[in-house]
Structure 1
């Protein structure tokens, strides 16, 4: 009978194969898949915000948001799009010696920028479609609230939150490759991503959307007024705070959490320790 899932060591081999191929994609293919992935994550973020924005109970609001947001990564992984936080796992074929550092950095750069384009496009579409006007403009007010909160955290908190986030995201990617059917992949993705959303951790690509929609929503006074957001708080949505308080430390944290702790961690456990070691034995003269 055919196996329904891969064994842990087989997942590592699959990761090496899949991400070695991704590193060798033509630039146009990587860009298209990156734009689509950014769009999928943005749509997941928007859907999660709409479903949870009016829930006053903190824990319940996080649970509902966490139950909805994973649809973004499900679309990314099953459709075959390329997400920066997932492609952090290129550290595995790199450590295995299958790809060069130049290829890894090139792919990360292309996918990161392409993800931003996809997230920005969705933000523009949602804003101009009036999608933030719902519930008496409170959806737009919530978008501002999220962007303000994220831009206001300290770089150190952003770094550690980014580590925790991509530890779970790359674990979801890793587990999804173990499953051989769609239902198995959905469940493998769903729960780690739910945990990251419930925990409130920082995801660089999701933040590309949250900040893009925040900058757009900042232009409509109805959104700010719906949640009584002051101009002082709105001023936190600026490029300096967004880039230096959040995006840079979160991106570094995402690389550490997914690329090192998950990717290289599992590689050491399942590949490095399995490699035969040469042992030099000194023979004493008889």
Structure 2
């Protein structure tokens, strides 16, 4: 397991390798990564739907509790585990390729080009996953309620809130990928990914690719109808008035879609509940309009301009600027004194040996002795290499002389 200084070399190499891939490989890897995250998202939605459905049966109201979100978040790290083990590229982690620019191993335009390609691959992968799931009718009533809940939550924030939230998001996600480079073992990588991504999921910070995946689910299942439940008559009147005032539906259409029925929430207690049957698109559009009165456009445009665009900028900034610049300043600045990261580590180890094996207490004196020792070791290694070369040259010359004879 490498420490943060020695792992910096791995991060540099990771960033450099990302700039060397051919464009179609970048696109394909981006598609695969997004599909893997979408698979984890399906499991996340299903777990939340089970909890929400239990609340519906118990109280007559679909509700997601903190414990439901806590438990469902345990499954979400599987997406990044699949990417790490099977291979794939996410826009958010590929922002670390900026390290190659700082190290003068890649040009800025090439990094931006590759980021654009992988982002497009991630978007196409999300749409493909959503289309396949739609063909399989994977999401029904309870799952659609979860999708409505998640999308409403994501498009009901102001753009600057999402911008700052997404900065924290990619500190975790890009930091996860950086951290996995510190170990080669699959078990170690899995443990790192699990705790980091679980933390990211629980906090609810905005990740542009994860958000686009849930939006893709909403777009592909937008015309699917399900019943939105209400516990009281006053609640449905308030909700209906909001929909009519917003110009989304008319009062005549609303009356034709109201479902009035009796539902037993407990064996000994019955309460009147109301339902409104309509497409997922209309329900998200109505529910997502409560916090953003200044925006007159529907949730699909909010998804792009209010959520995805600020999340894209925030994720890029933290992954391409904050993390690389911070560790470049901390690690590379010190490394320049000795030339390479490896030589700095060797120097530190030599200083420790000097302090342990001698009676020198002063660190500056120990550095001088360590420097002299390293120089001597380098001279001895050079002599050994020269002897090997001379020995090899002698053998070659003997072979040549034999051939001449």
**Which bin holds the TM-score, normalised by the shorter protein?**
0.7 to 0.9
Comparing 63-72 and 231-240, the one that deviates more = 231-240
Show the counterpart of 2:225. Answer: 221
Counterpart pick for 1:274 among 335, 338, 347? 335
**Equivalent pair of 2:151/2:284 in contact (CA under 8 Å):** no
Residues 9-48 of structure 1: matches in 2 within 5 Å?
A: 9-48=5-44
CA–CA separation in structure 2 for the residues paired with 1:43 and 1:264: 33
Q: Which structure 2 segments of 5+ residues have no match? A: 52-62, 231-274, 289-297, 339-405
CA–CA separation in structure 1 for the residues paired with 2:84 and 2:306: 29
Counterpart pick for 2:136 among 129, 137, 140? 129
TM-score (norm 1): 0.88
The answer to whether 1:72 aligns with 2:133 is: no
CA–CA separation in structure 2 for the residues paired with 1:256 and 1:239: 25
**DSSP 3-state at the match of 1:225:** strand
Judged with a 3 Å threshold, the aligned counterparts in structure 2 of structure 1 residues 79 and 272 are, in CA distance, closer, same or farther, namely farther
Instruction: Show structure 1 runs of 4+ deviating over 3 A.
Output: 224-233, 235-239
CA–CA separation in structure 2 for the residues paired with 1:146 and 1:155: 17
Show the counterpart of 2:4. Answer: 8
Task: Count residues with an aligned counterpart.
Answer: 269
**DSSP 3-state at the match of 1:241:** helix
Residues 105-124 of structure 1: matches in 2 within 5 Å?
A: 105-124=112-131
CA–CA separation in structure 2 for the residues paired with 1:42 and 1:164: 21
Show the counterpart of 2:255. Answer: none
Show the counterpart of 1:154. Answer: 158
TM-score (norm 2): 0.63
Shift of the alpha carbon at 1:271? Answer: 1.3
**Equivalent pair of 1:143/1:217 in contact (CA under 8 Å):** no
Counterpart pick for 2:46 among 45, 50, 63? 50
CA–CA separation in structure 1 for the residues paired with 2:212 and 2:331: 34
Comparing 146-155 and 205-214, the one that deviates more = 146-155
Judged with a 3 Å threshold, the aligned counterparts in structure 2 of structure 1 residues 123 and 233 are, in CA distance, closer, same or farther, namely closer
What's the C-alpha RMSD, in Å, of the aligned pairs?
1.9
Shift of the alpha carbon at 1:203? Answer: 0.6
Higher strand share: 2
Shift of the alpha carbon at 1:57? Answer: 6.0
**DSSP 3-state at the match of 2:335:** coil
The answer to whether 1:185 aligns with 2:197 is: no
CA–CA separation in structure 2 for the residues paired with 1:131 and 1:193: 25
Show the counterpart of 2:358. Answer: none
Judged with a 3 Å threshold, the aligned counterparts in structure 2 of structure 1 residues 233 and 130 are, in CA distance, closer, same or farther, namely closer
**Equivalent pair of 1:141/1:226 in contact (CA under 8 Å):** no
CA–CA separation in structure 2 for the residues paired with 1:28 and 1:156: 34
Show the counterpart of 2:354. Answer: none
CA–CA separation in structure 2 for the residues paired with 1:53 and 1:161: 25
Judged with a 3 Å threshold, the aligned counterparts in structure 2 of structure 1 residues 47 and 263 are, in CA distance, closer, same or farther, namely farther
